[in-house]
């Protein structure tokens, strides 16, 4: 029996909806085919955005969407993607797959997508190969209301009203694809570029995201903060962190998305749990500079990264998603909740057809991945208060070096007083008896849903509902306790009125 202690009287922080954000890059079939098919496509669309994908994403209450990259962001010149489509520049997407980018999806199209989704916007600017003027004019084009060269150009291109940019990233991975910079050099550039990311309407502040470290590169965090941290409000709102779960840890042979054994199952989960350690490490450094937590952490790229599906363009990063990905999603979202005092945004990579996508498409067909279903259960945490909770665990696994806790959890309370518990069972062989104990509150009602199946189970275009959310009625409530058996290899959401 594993006890889960919940204290509804102790609130530990606000869970920003943005912890369940997503990321859409001009990479492979994410934007083109995945989201945007163009107005003349036989696939049902509104202003070029495919309706099936938009409807599925709306169900997730997608809180924020990052665009246009990734590595693509530091090669993107936004003026190529405005104006009449027939005159937009064609270019080669040198970073991803060497295919022609016709720029038919640009700034106007992104904001149209955000409008249809009802999501906040996170624009990533170009520091690596772009100028300060280019960045400053993009911000003016998107957000300035009144008479100005860029606002006039926007009006000429059919959009008189400014859009709202909620977040603006000053470069991406500038330690790597975004310019191979040293932290001191990037930090100086950040100071300069961010000056011109102006908030023109003070009622709609643009939150600035400074390019942070890769995984456990603590030196980057230290050096960037040492140069940038103390320059008043609005200088830096968030510092990014990127960490991908690569099962083998070897980039040249990352492992298959669907073919893996017990060892690789636990090794993958061990690697994904490393996220917690990394957040702790970077948080400790941020606490030193920013003890009042004015700067948030934005984990704006995370998820599994496997070898591409056989026969697909290696530059498209197209992979399947199994129950292993469901566990990775559930574990990480629990970790983010637990760190909600510092982590203010997280964007899984990526939205459609790329890496740990929530949706896959093939022609006019669309499937929801196991990851999608986990997000659909965790959406009930959005905008809640994190509650004090703790679960007893034991170490499990098949190799000493890759032992993991059998269970993870996080608990929150929503505005109506309902408590939401999310749990993951990392074991591929054992169900566990769990007893939930509520401090000083009796359980009035309970309902639950679950995503569970064999470890390699996944949805295909022929069989789209192998993995899905199902209701779970195995929970008994009595007094201040809940008891149930949590099936192996599962992710669960329990809603309690207490």
DSSP code, position 256: -
Stretch that binds ligand AHR, among 69-77, 261-269, 407-415, 450-458 (CB under 6 A): 69-77
Stretch that binds ligand AHR, among 64-72, 249-257, 267-275, 448-456 (CB under 6 A): 64-72
- Work out whether 348 is an interface residue with ligand AHR (CB under 6 A): no
> What is the smallest separation between the CB atom of 350 and ligand AHR, expressed in angstroms?
6
Stretch that binds ligand AHR, among 47-55, 68-76, 106-114, 141-149 (CB under 6 A): 68-76
Name the residue nearer to ligand AHR (CB basis): 71 or 285: 71
- Work out whether 217 is an interface residue with ligand AHR (CB under 6 A): no
Name the residue nearer to ligand AHR (CB basis): 22 or 337: 22
- Work out whether 346 is an interface residue with ligand AHR (CB under 6 A): no
- Work out whether 450 is an interface residue with ligand AHR (CB under 6 A): no
Stretch that binds ligand AHR, among 163-171, 200-208, 250-258, 347-355 (CB under 6 A): 347-355
Cβ neighbors of 311 (< 8 A, separation 6 or more) are: none
- Work out whether 63 is an interface residue with ligand AHR (CB under 6 A): no
Tokens of 185: 């050099």
Active-site residue 18, yes or no? no
Strand, coil or helix: what is 100?
A: strand
User: H-type helices in 165-261, by residue range?
Assistant: 183-195, 218-228
- Work out whether 70 is an interface residue with ligand AHR (CB under 6 A): yes
- Work out whether 301 is an interface residue with ligand AHR (CB under 6 A): yes
Name the residue nearer to ligand AHR (CB basis): 150 or 357: 357
Stretch that binds ligand AHR, among 127-135, 163-171, 348-356, 468-476 (CB under 6 A): 348-356
Given the residues 18, 301, 385, 409, select the one marked as catalytic.
Answer: 301
> What is the smallest separation between the CB atom of 91 and ligand AHR, expressed in angstroms?
17
Work out which of 69, 97, 128, 162 binds ligand AHR, going by CB under 6 A. 69
> What is the smallest separation between the CB atom of 427 and ligand AHR, expressed in angstroms?
30
Peptide bond into 70 cis (omega under 30): yes
Tokens of 283: 């948080």
Axis crossing angle, helix 323-338 with helix 370-378, rounded to the nearest 10: 30
Stretch that binds ligand AHR, among 188-196, 349-357, 433-441, 444-452 (CB under 6 A): 349-357
> 320: buried, middle or exposed (CB in 10 Å: 19+, 13-18, 0-12)?
buried
- Work out whether 71 is an interface residue with ligand AHR (CB under 6 A): yes
- Work out whether 22 is an interface residue with ligand AHR (CB under 6 A): no
- Work out whether 172 is an interface residue with ligand AHR (CB under 6 A): yes
Given the residues 33, 75, 173, 385, select the one marked as catalytic.
Answer: 173
> What is the smallest separation between the CB atom of 304 and ligand AHR, expressed in angstroms?
11
Among residue numbers 351 through 370, which ones bind ligand AHR (CB under 6 A)? 355
> What is the smallest separation between the CB atom of 74 and ligand AHR, expressed in angstroms?
9
Sign of CA dihedral 67, 302, 420, 321: positive
Active-site residue 173, yes or no? yes
- Work out whether 286 is an interface residue with ligand AHR (CB under 6 A): no
The CA distance from 325 to 321, in Å, is: 6
SS3 content of the chain, % helix, strand, coil (to 5): 30, 30, 45
- Work out whether 325 is an interface residue with ligand AHR (CB under 6 A): no
Strand, coil or helix: what is 275?
A: helix
Measured between alpha carbons, how far is residue 157 from residues 2, 135, 369 in Å?
A: 60, 19, 37
Cβ neighbors of 292 (< 8 A, separation 6 or more) are: none
Instruction: Give one word for 427, left, alpha or beta, with left for phi > 0 and alpha for psi -120 to 50.
Output: beta
Neighbours of 112 (CB within 10 A): 18
> What is the smallest separation between the CB atom of 317 and ligand AHR, expressed in angstroms?
6
- Work out whether 349 is an interface residue with ligand AHR (CB under 6 A): yes
Strand, coil or helix: what is 483?
A: strand
Stretch that binds ligand AHR, among 66-74, 105-113, 200-208, 440-448 (CB under 6 A): 66-74
Please report where in the chains the tokens 């991975």 appear, as a residue: 173
- Work out whether 376 is an interface residue with ligand AHR (CB under 6 A): no
Contact string 23-62 vs ligand AHR (x = CB under 6 A): --x-------------------------------------
* CB closest to ligand AHR, residue no: 70
**Helix (H) / strand (E) containing 473:** none
DSSP code, position 214: B
Sign of CA dihedral 163, 167, 173, 179: positive
Beta bridge partners of 239: 210, 297
CB 100 within 8 A of CB 91: yes
Please report where in the chains the tokens 């518990």 appear, as a residue: 421
Q: How many residues bind ligand AHR (CB under 6 A)?
A: 10
- Work out whether 113 is an interface residue with ligand AHR (CB under 6 A): no
CB 126 within 8 A of CB 67: no
Provide the pairing of β-strand 395-396 with 385-391. unpaired
Binding site for ligand AHR (CB under 6 A): 25, 69-71, 172-173, 301, 349-350, 355
Catalytic residue numbers?
Answer: 173, 301
């Amino acid at each position: 029996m594993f006890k889960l202690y919940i204290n509804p009287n102790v609130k530990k922080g606000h869970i920003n909806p943005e912890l369940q954000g997503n990321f859409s890059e001009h990479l492979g079939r994410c934007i083109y085919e995945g989201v945007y098919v163009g107005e003349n496509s036989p696939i049902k669309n509104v202003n070029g955005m495919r309706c099936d994908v938009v409807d599925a994403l709306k169900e997730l209450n997608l809180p924020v969407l990052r665009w246009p990259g990734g590595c693509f962001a530091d090669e993107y010149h936004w003026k190529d993607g405005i104006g009449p489509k027939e005159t937009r520049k064609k270019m080669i997407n040198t970073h991803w797959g060497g295919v022609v980018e016709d720029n038919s999806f640009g700034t106007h199209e992104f904001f149209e997508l955000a409008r249809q989704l009802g999501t906040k916007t996170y624009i990533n600017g170009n520091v690596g190969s772009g100028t300060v003027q280019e960045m400053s004019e993009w911000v003016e084009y998107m957000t300035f209301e009144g008479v100005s060269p860029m606002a006039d150009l926007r009006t000429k291109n059919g959009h008189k009203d400014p859009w709202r940019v909620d977040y603006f990233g000053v470069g991406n991975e500038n330690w790597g694809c975004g310019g191979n910079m040293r932290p001191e050099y990037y930090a100086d550039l950040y100071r300069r570029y961010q000056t011109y990311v102006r908030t023109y309407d003070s009622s709609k502040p643009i939150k600035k995201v400074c390019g942070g470290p890769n995984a456990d590169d603590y030196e980057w965090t230290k050096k960037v903060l040492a140069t940038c941290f103390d320059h008043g409000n609005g200088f830096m709102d968030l510092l990014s962190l990127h960490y991908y779960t690569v099962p083998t840890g070897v980039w040249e042979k990352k492992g298959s998305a669907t073919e893996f054994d017990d060892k690789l199952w636990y090794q993958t989960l061990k690697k994904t749990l490393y996220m917690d350690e990394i957040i702790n490490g970077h948080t400790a450094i941020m606490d030193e500079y920013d003890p009042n937590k004015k700067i948030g952490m934005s984990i704006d790229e995370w998820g599994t990264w496997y070898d591409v599906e056989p026969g697909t363009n290696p530059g498209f990063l197209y992979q399947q998603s199994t129950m292993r990905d469901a566990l990775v999603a559930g574990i990480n979202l629990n970790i983010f909740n637990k760190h909600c005092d510092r982590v203010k945004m997280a964007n899984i990579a990526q939205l459609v057809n790329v890496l740990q996508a929530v949706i896959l498409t093939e022609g006019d067909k669309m499937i929801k991945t196991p990851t999608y279903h986990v997000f659909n259960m965790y959406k009930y945490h959005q905008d809640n208060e994190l509650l004090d909770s703790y679960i007893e665990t034991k170490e499990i696994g098949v190799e000493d070096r890759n032992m993991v806790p059998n269970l993870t959890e996080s608990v929150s309370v929503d505005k109506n007083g309902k408590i939401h518990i999310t749990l993951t069972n990392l074991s591929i062989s054992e169900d566990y008896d769990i007893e939930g104990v509520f401090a000083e509150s009796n359980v009035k009602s309970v309902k639950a849903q679950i995503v569970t199946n064999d470890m390699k189970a996944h949805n295909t275009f022929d069989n789209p509902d192998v993995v899905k959310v199902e209701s779970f009625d195995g929970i008994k409530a009595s007094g201040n306790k809940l008891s149930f058996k949590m099936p192996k290899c599962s992710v669960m959401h329990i809603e309690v009125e207490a």
